[in-house]
Structure 1
Amino acid sequence: VRRQSVAPTTQMYPRQQVELGVQNTLICWVSDFHPTPVSITWSRNGQTVGQGDVSQTQYYSNKDFSFRIFSYLSFTPQEGDIYSCTVEHISLFEPLTRFWGE
């Protein structure tokens, strides 16, 4: 049975309470999509972040046969910084971007 592609939902949040100048992790949670894969990219103030600061989990299965994945960005918040997590998936006409900033 060929399933329809289903667009992901996303959320973005810091792992710990944010303090300026204190290293933290931003989490981009991508869920409820089908099929795999998704492409997740991070940016800081409009510049793509190097992969050295990024990690992600494997794909996890949800009960409804959709998938979820988490991407993590190590960052040290500075005043005025704007971060974004952009998700690309076969079901999306254009990339889905979430923003986070002080």
Structure 2
Amino acid sequence: CALSSSLSELGLLSLSLLNLPLLTVYSRNKVELGKSNILICFVNKFYPPAVKVKWTKNNVEVKEGKGDDYSCTVYHQGLTEPEIRFWGHACFPSDMTE
């Protein structure tokens, strides 16, 4: 018995290996008023490995700096549209305690 077609030729391999990225935005340290912190956009469990991640502040792409509302946008071929996670004052209530 011989196999004449590979899974990739049949288009089955690419469908079975496509995993959508999971993403979360969080701060490195506890959020404290007046103290600098680092925001992390954690993207994992996706395939194929090609992915683009960018930060925006108030819907404008940024490299670094201070601001109010940040978002992390992930582009991946498995997504029908870019996946966005926001970080800003709406993400943590004022009465939040550890």
Aligned match for 1:84, one of 71, 74, 84: 71
Alignment of 1:45-56 (within 5 A): 45-50=58-63, 53=64
Q: Distance in 2 between matches of 1:18 and 1:101?
A: 11
Instruction: State how many pairs are aligned.
Output: 76
Tell me the residue number matched to 2:87: 100
Q: Which runs of 4+ in 1 moved over 6 A?
A: none
TM-score normalised according to structure 2 size: 0.69
Amino acid at match of 2:73: T
Structure 2 unaligned blocks of 5 or more: 1-6, 8-12, 90-98
Amino acid at match of 1:27: I
Structure 1 unaligned blocks of 5 or more: 54-74
Q: Distance in 2 between matches of 1:31 and 1:86?
A: 13
Amino acid at match of 2:45: D
CA RMSD of aligned residues (A): 1.7
Percent of pairs with identical residues: 42
2:17 is aligned with 1:30: no
- Of Structure 1 and Structure 2, the greater strand share is in 1
Aligned match for 2:30, one of 17, 42, 59: 17
TM-score normalised according to structure 1 size: 0.66
Larger Rg: 2
Which has the higher relative contact order, 1 or 2, with Cα contacts under 8 A spaced 6 or more apart? 1
